[in-house]
Amino acid sequence: MPIFILDDESAGEWKYGGASRWFLYEALNNLSKQLDHKLSIFQGDAKAIIPELIKKVGASSIYWNRCYEPWCIKRDALIKGNLKSEGITVKTFNASLLWEPWEVLKKDGSPYKVFTPFYRKGCLMSQPPRYPLDTPVEMNFLSSDDCKDLNTLGLKPSSDWFKKLENFWDASTKGALSKLSIFLDSALSDYREGRNFPGRKCVSFLSPYLRYGLVSPNIVWHAALSANPNNLEDKNLDTFLSELGWREFSYYLLFHFPDLPTTNLQKKFDRFPWRSNAEDFFEKWKWGLTGYPLIDAGMRELYETGYMHNRLRMVVGSFLVKNLLIDWRYGEQWFWDCLVDADLASNSAGWQWIAGCGADAAPYFRIFNPITQSEKFDSEGMYIKQHVPELSGLPSKYIHAPWQAPESILKESGVELGNNYPYPIVDIKASRQKALEAFAQTKM
DNA sequence: CCTGGAGTTGTCCTA
DNA sequence: TTAGGACAACTCCAG
């Protein structure tokens, strides 16, 4: 008897963000359709709902797939303990990770902190990921007066903002498998190189589907492997699979370091001198009005589509944290609200990584230059023009730094700096220097 | 316990 | 124009 419980009560500060709520709404709607509208939906504290239901239907056992958010683990352990003491059989399964975080450990029994040994040694040298399971042939359905109508859960946003997302995402199993096969057919063979260029659609776009379990990593893993069965040494395949490995690593870190979403993994960063009164800069960053075209393109892609290309996530993150000196947790919050793939593990781990305070910390001097990145990875300005239409008239030579363009070119292109497109809000060289000094201060 | 190599994704300067 | 080294020092990890 499949049921779904929307448990905002237990989620605390990590209730689903706006984009997530929209995606989840669509996904549940589609799942319910798939099940002849018989998916039973509840809302509220699972600790109360589940025991009540069990009594009501006289169930003797309950199965669920494991979640890995710290608040879920806590809640589910409590439920499991209570039910077991009442003689109910509780079985839990892994449906969302390729390797259980508690099974991958170093020889001394402690968890890995560096990705490469975690993945290459810890994961790849242990059991290979299990094959996907078939769809259940038989299912019972619950009939209960307490079931909620999906539309009453408050998942579907009241604003029109989500309408834009409909253009980009088909939040169904079908949508997931279609993304997967398009990727395998047309992008995997150039993935290692192509994934660096946000203007090319050379990524899988599977993140939101993985996030909500519309497709499992096992399906993706084995589909990718069998798309390329003759060449296990293939660099493109290897790179793609290792991205699934990064997803695993994020969950792994969250499991072993449950404070990951809120606390610098490296304690010395607690002393970092973040900018005060940064409200104005933060607003400009959020809405893609920093005056750096690549940054603005990334931020607007996020708001328009609920997604951002991975390279841009790094570039805008680096800009927020290092050039604007704004605490990474602000960026994490904004992503949490805007991303359709908002995932506590991946989002937190990503922000800690880019801020340099994570487990596998980048050297502090690695500060992305938005102009260099733009010239390197969007040389024709394809991506920028797509998301920052007011610059679409500029020749590619000037699109990376419009304030350096001659007046005549700007005029011809219809760009009026300070009017229809902003001047840069900070100077790259000076702000980089400031960041380096701030990091030096943190070390003391 | 010691040792040595390595650490997703960069930038800048110099030769 | 381009390739290579500096940018710190530290921690992680395996042998």
What is the tens place of the pLDDT at every residue in A246-291? 999 999 999 999 999 999 999 889 989 999 899 999 999 999 999 9
Nucleotides of chain C touched by protein CB (<7 A): 7-9, 11-14
Give the whole-angstrom CA distance, residue A204 versus residue A196. 13
pLDDT of residue A443: 75
A355: how many CB neighbours lie within 10 A of its CB?
A: 26
Look at residue A18 and tell me whether its pLDDT is greater than 90. Answer: yes
**Domains, chain A, ordered by start:** 3-93 (3.40.50.620), 98-129+173-256 (1.25.40.80), 267-443 (1.10.579.10)
Q: Is the CB of A310 under 7 A from strand B?
A: yes
pLDDT of residue A365: 84
Give the whole-angstrom CA distance, residue A177 versus residue A183. 10
Give the whole-angstrom CA distance, residue A264 versus residue A327. 10
What the block records as the tokens of A280 is 């104005």
Contacts of A444 (CB under 8 A, 6+ apart): none
Q: Is the CB of A238 under 7 A from strand B?
A: no
**Mean pLDDT taken over chain A:** 94
Confidence of residue A53 (pLDDT cuts 50, 70, 90): very high
Look at residue A341 and tell me whether its pLDDT is greater than 90. Answer: yes
Confidence of residue A362 (pLDDT cuts 50, 70, 90): confident
Give the whole-angstrom CA distance, residue A391 versus residue A290. 14
pLDDT of residue A383: 97
Q: Is the CB of A364 under 7 A from strand B?
A: no
Residue A308 identity: M
Residues of A noted as catalytic: 243, 246, 274, 310, 328, 351
Confidence of residue A25 (pLDDT cuts 50, 70, 90): very high
Task: Give me the DSSP letters along A48-65.
Answer: HHHHHHHHHHT-SEEEEE
pLDDT of residue A397: 93
pLDDT of residue A230: 64
User: What percent of chain A is modeled with pLDDT above 70?
Assistant: 99
* pLDDT tens string A375-387: 999 999 999 999 9
- Closest nucleotide to residue A106 (Cα to C1')? C13
CB A97 within 8 A of CB A251: yes
Give the whole-angstrom CA distance, residue A133 versus residue A201. 30
d(CA A95, C1' C3) / Å: 48
Helices (H) and strands (E) in chain A, counts: 21, 4
Q: Is the CB of A246 under 7 A from strand B?
A: yes
pLDDT of residue A229: 66
- Closest nucleotide to residue A349 (Cα to C1')? B8
Taking all atoms of strand C, which protein residues have CB closer than 7 Å?
Answer: A 106-107, 110, 112-114, 117-118, 121-122, 363-365
Give the whole-angstrom CA distance, residue A437 versus residue A212. 41
d(CA A436, C1' C8) / Å: 12
Of the candidates A170, A147, A152, A119, the one whose C-alpha atom is nearest the C-alpha of residue A56 is A147
Q: A4 has which bridge partners? A: A41
- Closest nucleotide to residue A105 (Cα to C1')? C13
Give the whole-angstrom CA distance, residue A132 versus residue A134. 7
CB burial of A289-308 (b: ≥16 within 10 Å; e: otherwise) equals: bbbbbbbbbbbbbbbbbbbb
Beta strands in A262-344, from DSSP E residues, in sequence order: none
d(CA A29, C1' C5) / Å: 57
A310-313 long-range contacts (CB < 8 A, ≥24 apart) are A310/A195, A310/A203, A311/A195, A311/A196, A311/A197, A311/A198, A311/A373, A311/A377, A312/A198, A313/A350, A313/A354
pLDDT of residue A158: 83
Confidence of residue A143 (pLDDT cuts 50, 70, 90): confident
